[in-house]
Amino acid sequence: MSRRRTLSRGKKAALLVGAAALAGGGAVVLTGTSQASVACDGLATALGNNARFIAEQRANPDAQSEARIANREAVIEEIKRKQAASGCEVGAGGGEAVAQPPAEPDPPSEPPAEAAPPAEAGPPGEAAPPPGGVGEQVCVGSTVTLSGEGGAPAASSNEFPIGTQLRVTNLDNNKSTTVEVTSVSGSCVLLNDAAFEEVREPGKFLIRQARIERVG
């Protein structure tokens, strides 16, 4: 009788250990899936921003549009390579962004947005200053992702002129980087690869909680 009880207890212990192992393995799988999803979301956002920028340039071309478009097409190819390496759907995020500009209601909606700042500076009769004063927080609520461009740490923006200094803080890890706006994009702030590496969390291509300040 005592021998049967001993075997029974051993079997129960083995079953409990096996169940714990399965539960632990499930947790690891879920965690990995969650991280992969965040990475794919960030890359899709970056691809969409660049695709939207290309479409806007084609809808409203100027002397520099062809060079900008060629640059952004190279960036999109790099993002697609990162999507493939991360196990994401290659090209995800580009479809909707490209479809927007051909519908020409968008260009007419942009001039009013540009006309609003001069209205504030109307009485003095001076040109409107860049959005946000030095040291002020700007683009509140904006997420930040990468443009895919190489080179020294820098940023691109659709709100700040080239030469503006911006400080971007990832509130999830409290890492900050101060960069200069060197090109135009379709977002408040896009960081190039080098700048994004300074503030990113491992495996993530999107900063959901960011503080953006104009510092110069």
pLDDT single digits (tens) 107-158: 444 444 444 344 444 444 444 455 556 678 998 888 898 888 899 999 999 8
Question: What are the structural domains of the chain?
Answer: 2-214 (2.40.40.10)
Task: Give the Cβ contact number of residue 177 at 10 Å.
Answer: 19
Return the amino acid letter for 183. Answer: S
Tell me if residue 180 falls in helix, strand or coil: strand
Task: Give the Cβ contact number of residue 103 at 10 Å.
Answer: 10
CA distance 85 to 60: 34
Residue in the block written with tokens 């997420």: 143
Mean pLDDT of 24-46: 64
Mean pLDDT of 168-188: 93
Residue 177 has pLDDT above 80, yes or no: yes
Average pLDDT, the chain: 74
Query: Any bridge partners for residue 165, and if so which?
Result: 180
- Phi/psi of residue 210, nearest 5 degrees: -130, 150
Angle at 111 between CA 211 and CA 104, to 5 degrees: 105
Which of 112, 100, 109, 91 is CA-nearest to residue 56?
100
Confirm whether pTM is higher than 0.75: no
- The pLDDT assigned to 116 comes to 38
pLDDT single digits (tens) 55-67: 888 998 888 788 7
CA distance 184 to 171: 25
Return the higher-pLDDT residue of 26 and 51.
51
CA distance 61 to 213: 30
- Phi/psi of residue 38, nearest 5 degrees: -65, -40
- The pLDDT assigned to 98 comes to 39
Instruction: Judge whether 212 and 168 are in contact, CB under 8 Å.
Output: yes
